[in-house]
Amino acid sequence: MNLTLEQMDALSEIANIGASKAAKQLSLLLNDIVEMSVPRLTIGSRREALDLIAVAPQDDTAAVFQKASGLLNAEVALLFHSQESRELVQALVGADLPLEDVDMSAFEHEAMTEIGNIIVSACISTIADLLGGRVSLTIPVYVEGSFSDIWHQLEGGDRPQARYMLVMGTKLSAVQRNVNGSLVITFSLDDLNSLLQQIDEWLAKMSS
Amino acid sequence: MKPETVLLPGSDIVDMLPLGVFLLDESGLVCGWNTWLADKTGIVRQEALGKTLQQLYPGFDKPRFTWALQEVFANGSPQILSQALNQYLIPIKIKVMGYHGISLMQQKVQISLFVAANEARLALISIVDVTENVIRSQALSDAARSLKESNNRDALTGLYNRRFMNEWLDQRLKESRSIQHQIACLVLDIDHFKMINDTFGHQLGDQVLQDFSRLLSGRLRECDVFVRYGGEEFVVLLVKCSLAGGIARAQELIKAVRSTSIGTLPAGGVTCSAGVAVYDPKMPCSSEMLLSQADAQLYQAKRNGRDCVFPSRHLGSAD
Interface of B with A (CB under 8 A): 63-64, 67, 71, 74-86, 108, 110, 112-113, 133, 137, 140-141, 144-145, 148
A184: nearest Cα among A137, A123, A126, A102: A123
pLDDT tens, position by position, A7-60 = 888 888 888 888 888 888 888 877 778 888 887 888 888 778 888 777 788 888
Please give, rounded to a whole number of angstroms, the shortest distance from the CA of B67 to a CA of chain A. 8
**For the residues B120-143, what does the mean pLDDT come to?**
87
Answer whether A25 sits within 8 Å of B64, measured CB to CB: yes
Strand runs labelled E in chain B:
20-24, 30-33, 79-81, 107-115, 121-129, 183-190, 225-230, 233-239, 272-279, 309-310
Contact call for residues B274 and B188 (beta carbons, < 8 A): yes
Contact call for residues A68 and A136 (beta carbons, < 8 A): yes
Residue B153 sits at the vertex; the CA angle it makes with B147 and B158, to the nearest 5 degrees, is 125
User: Does the pTM of the predicted model rise above 0.90?
Assistant: no
Residue B6 pLDDT: 58
Residue B241 pLDDT: 93
Provide the 3-class DSSP secondary structure of residue A138.
coil
Q: Give the span between the Cα atoms of B180 and B174, in whole angstroms.
A: 10
Residue A98 pLDDT: 47
Please give, rounded to a whole number of angstroms, the shortest distance from the CA of B141 to a CA of chain A. 6
> Average pLDDT of chain B?
90
A112: nearest Cα among A192, A179, A32: A179
Residue B109 pLDDT: 95
Q: Which residues contact B58 (CB under 8 A, 6 or more apart)?
A: none
pLDDT tens, position by position, B201-240 = 999 999 999 999 999 999 999 899 999 999 999 999 999 9
Residue A52 pLDDT: 77
**For the residues B161-174, what does the mean pLDDT come to?**
91
Q: Which of A12-16, A131-135, B150-154 has the highest mean pLDDT?
A: B150-154
Please list every residue in chain B whose beta carbon sits closer than 8 Å to the beta carbon of residue A89: 84
Please list every residue in chain A whose beta carbon sits closer than 8 Å to the beta carbon of residue B64: 25, 28-29
pLDDT tens, position by position, B84-105 = 889 999 999 987 665 667 889 9
Read off the amino acid at residue B256: A
Residue B316 pLDDT: 46
Of residues B167 and B179, more confidently modeled: B167
Q: Catalytic: which of B4, B47, B232, B233? A: B232
How many C-beta atoms lie closer than 10 Å to residue B233's C-beta? 16
Residue B98 pLDDT: 57
Q: Give the span between the Cα atoms of A131 and A134, in whole angstroms.
A: 9
By Cβ distance, the residue of B78, B84, B145 closest to A110 is B84
Q: Give the span between the Cα atoms of B88 and A19, in whole angstroms.
A: 26
pLDDT exceeding 90 applies to what percent of chain A?
A: 6
Find the largest Cα–Cα distance for chain A: 61
Residue B226 pLDDT: 97
Residue B182: pLDDT band with limits 50, 70, 90: very high
**For the residues B126-136, what does the mean pLDDT come to?**
89
Provide the 3-class DSSP secondary structure of residue B258.
helix
Contact call for residues A104 and A95 (beta carbons, < 8 A): yes
Q: Which residues contact A93 (CB under 8 A, 6 or more apart)?
A: A107, A111, B84, B85
B26: nearest Cα among B66, B54, B79: B66
CA atoms within 13 A on the CB side of B75: 32
Q: Give the span between the Cα atoms of B148 and A100, in whole angstroms.
A: 11
Answer whether A29 sits within 8 Å of B148, measured CB to CB: no
Interface of A with B (CB under 8 A): 25, 28-30, 66, 70, 89, 92-93, 95, 97, 101-102, 104, 106-108, 110-111, 113-115, 117, 121, 124-125, 128-129, 134-140
pLDDT tens, position by position, A150-185 = 888 877 766 666 678 888 888 888 766 778 888 888
Residue B100 pLDDT: 67
**For the residues A59-68, what does the mean pLDDT come to?**
90
User: Residue A80: pLDDT above 80?
Assistant: yes
Q: Which among A20, A21, A29 is the top mutation candidate for probing chain B, defined by the most B β-carbons within 10 Å of its own β-carbon?
A: A29
Residue B10 pLDDT: 61
Please give, rounded to a whole number of angstroms, the shortest distance from the CA of B118 to a CA of chain A. 21
B47 assigned to active site: no
Domains of chain A, CATH where assigned: 5-207 (3.40.1550.10)
Q: Which residues contact B54 (CB under 8 A, 6 or more apart)?
A: B28, B60, B61
User: Residue A101: pLDDT above 60?
Assistant: no
Residue B97 pLDDT: 60
Supply the DSSP symbol for B266: P
A179: nearest Cα among A83, A65, A85: A85
Residue A1: pLDDT band with limits 50, 70, 90: low
pLDDT tens, position by position, B261-316 = 999 999 999 999 999 999 998 888 999 999 999 999 999 999 999 999 999 776 54
Answer whether A114 sits within 8 Å of B108, measured CB to CB: no
Q: Are strands A164-174 and A74-81 parallel, antiparallel or unpaired?
A: unpaired
CA dihedral over B242, B245, B247, B250, signed as positive or negative: negative
Answer whether A111 sits within 8 Å of B112, measured CB to CB: no
Answer whether A139 sits within 8 Å of B144, measured CB to CB: no
Q: Which of A7-11, B6-10, B50-54 has the highest mean pLDDT?
A: B50-54
Residue A110: pLDDT band with limits 50, 70, 90: confident
Domains of chain B, CATH where assigned: 11-136 (3.30.450.20), 152-310 (3.30.70.270)
User: Residue A62: pLDDT above 80?
Assistant: yes
Please give, rounded to a whole number of angstroms, the shortest distance from the CA of A174 to a CA of chain B. 14
Q: Give the span between the Cα atoms of B236 and B256, in whole angstroms.
A: 15
Read off the amino acid at residue B172: R
Supply the DSSP symbol for B298: H
Residue A87: pLDDT band with limits 50, 70, 90: confident
**For the residues B144-169, what does the mean pLDDT come to?**
90
Please list every residue in chain B whose beta carbon sits closer than 8 Å to the beta carbon of residue A106: 133, 137
**For the residues B119-132, what does the mean pLDDT come to?**
93
pLDDT tens, position by position, B64-83 = 999 999 989 988 889 999 98
Please list every residue in chain A whose beta carbon sits closer than 8 Å to the beta carbon of residue B77: 66, 121, 124-125, 135-137
Residue B16 backbone dihedrals phi, psi, to 5 degrees: -95, -10
Residue B319 pLDDT: 38
Please give, rounded to a whole number of angstroms, the shortest distance from the CA of B65 to a CA of chain A. 9
By Cβ distance, the residue of B64, B74, B77 closest to A28 is B64
By Cβ distance, the residue of B78, B84, B148 closest to A137 is B78
User: Residue B1: pLDDT above 60?
Assistant: no
Answer whether A101 sits within 8 Å of B144, measured CB to CB: yes
pLDDT exceeding 90 applies to what percent of chain B?
A: 70
Contact call for residues A38 and A23 (beta carbons, < 8 A): no
Residue B258 pLDDT: 96
Please give, rounded to a whole number of angstroms, the shortest distance from the CA of B133 to a CA of chain A. 9
pLDDT exceeding 70 applies to what percent of chain B?
A: 93
